[in-house]
Structure 1
Amino acid sequence: MKKAFLFFTILLTFTGLLAGCGTSNSAGGSGESGEGGTVTIGYFPNINHVPAMVAKDQGYYEGQLGDGTTVEYKTFPDGASFMTALKTGEIDAGLVGPGPAMNNYSTGADVKIIAGGSTGGTVVLARADSGIDSAEDFPGKTFITPRVGCTHDVQVETFLKDMGITSERIGGTMKHITGNPAQYQAMFETGKVDIAVAPEPWAAVLEQETGAKVIINADEISFGETLPASVLVASGEMIKKNPERIQNIVDAHKKAAEFIKENPEEAKEITIKDVKEVTNQELSKEVVDNAWERIGFTYEVDSEAIQAFADSSYELKFLKEKPDFSDLIDKQFIQ
């Protein structure tokens, strides 16, 4: 039972070291011409970022960017460090969750969403001995999300608000705490939380290791089938300076999405291999299979879903001002 928890704790620690001490590939950030130089792609070693792993494994970036271009890769433990790297030119493009992209755009960062990456993957589970059988049992219980107002938090609180259930933060009875998903298993086992809002593969781990019960599945939670779980981003400056290079990056990304759709089992093998190479640990095939069922991979991006998500964040009082993301998304490269 402890094996999966130990693995993901090591994964988080190791990827944090990768992002912090520069042991991953160094950044190029050239972007001066359509060909030549170095292009650095950023991503996280998790299942929502499989398109980057596949493109890396299949050499799609190299193929699209040309023989004179060197492609390097840098992994990140969280959206904040990824966005810092993008803003400083340490990476040229990459996959990140929509939340960090939206939040940084709202505070004036030069970031554009240029394609979708994946959808789904947010699951709400109840502790096996919690006595919870449905969302109607949630009032008065304690739930955990990665952060206040994060993508997964907004999704579950939107879902519950529509049922007339709210957290103590906005006058309800549900107690909300936050923590890294690597802590969820221990918190279930000690009874500190009743409900976990878990991104994949954490939900699959909780099911396998603790017998947790799925209460709200990835296709049932608010925005579950429309909101991107990861998006491909670049800076507005890079788009203006070198649209040809951005188009090549997006074309490689599109080829990866198509590969995943046509070759799911091989894509799973690539995922397990890439995560092992980055973290020196190995995901079980069972966990990957279970998580895969709740995630979709696409280069399309739903602008309306992103705006609706932002509006809900405002209505739930996570944002002080109602945002307008009409200029955040640039779809010219996926047409």
Structure 2
Amino acid sequence: MSDFSFQGVTPDTILDAIESIGLYPTSGLLPLNSYENRVYQFLADDQKRYVVKFYRPQRWTDAQILEEHAFTEELAIAEIPVVCPLKLEGQTLHHWQGFRFSVFPSIGGRALEPEQLEQLEDLGRHLGRLHLVGSARPFSSRPALIDAENLTEAVHVLKNCPLIPDSLHVPFFTILDVVVARLKALDWTAYPTVRLHGDCHIGNLLWRPEGLTLVDFDDCRQGPAVQDLWMMLSGDRMQQQMQLETLVEGYEEFMPFDTRQLRLIEPLRAFRIIQYMAWLARRWEDPAFPHNFSWFAEARYWEQQILALKEQLAALDEAPLRLQPGFN
């Protein structure tokens, strides 16, 4: 089955799959914002709202998906607010006509507001608790966040991407190769790793009446703890300093933070820039991608990426953020 075979996920297929595990939708299927998987919300005959997620074929193995499910269950048992897949018919991962899917409870909420420092401190507490659980043992099936192999693979994908204009090949790949070489030169093994959320950004954080809830562990991996913090930093250096100190103050109520990892923030940002380009290139055959990311095929985008990589290379040479002595 191709990576891009979501064409077979028709409304009838979705309904049949859901009914095969004992749920009976009484509403239409509302598509939710997800490009990597196919995700739909529905109301069932028990008057509860659910979300069904069909996993992209060949992205994860069954073992890797089940390891994600087990991790969220560990977090829930530790009373960390996360959204876990429901165990239906005795299991959390189901198969139907060659597709794999899971069902989750549908929860509402509003986005976390990082400018509200009390919310940011609460996120720090949640991440400290999450990483405390995540440090108990490593993932056995899910891959590491970053290593030389996935950097090499990302470059290979981009070098075979037909959307990069010929006139920009030399400047784009010249700066890309320099940035990748810098990332490969880092000794990533020198930093301790934990099981991470992996994609901790505002879109995966819901503020509810009872507090903050973390959703979508689809990208959970083994990596340095700072990965789950740095994406919440924005603005100028002074603003980022304040945000970082607020996060770490909450974090250290439950888990010590290794300040050496602050030097990984800009390398991780560079890695995300490269991985995002490679992700779009890999998925371009999926009809949803040209429709929603049409700018990826424009010369202007690649010109902007050359500039972004040059700026990121300069950022790699800047002094990392530091926690002020006695900040907490």
Rg larger in 1 or in 2? 2
Q: TM-score under structure 2 normalisation?
A: 0.27
Higher relative contact order, structure no. (Cα contacts within 8 Å, ≥ 6 residues apart): 1
Q: TM-score under structure 1 normalisation?
A: 0.27
Q: Structure 1 or 2: larger strand share?
A: 1
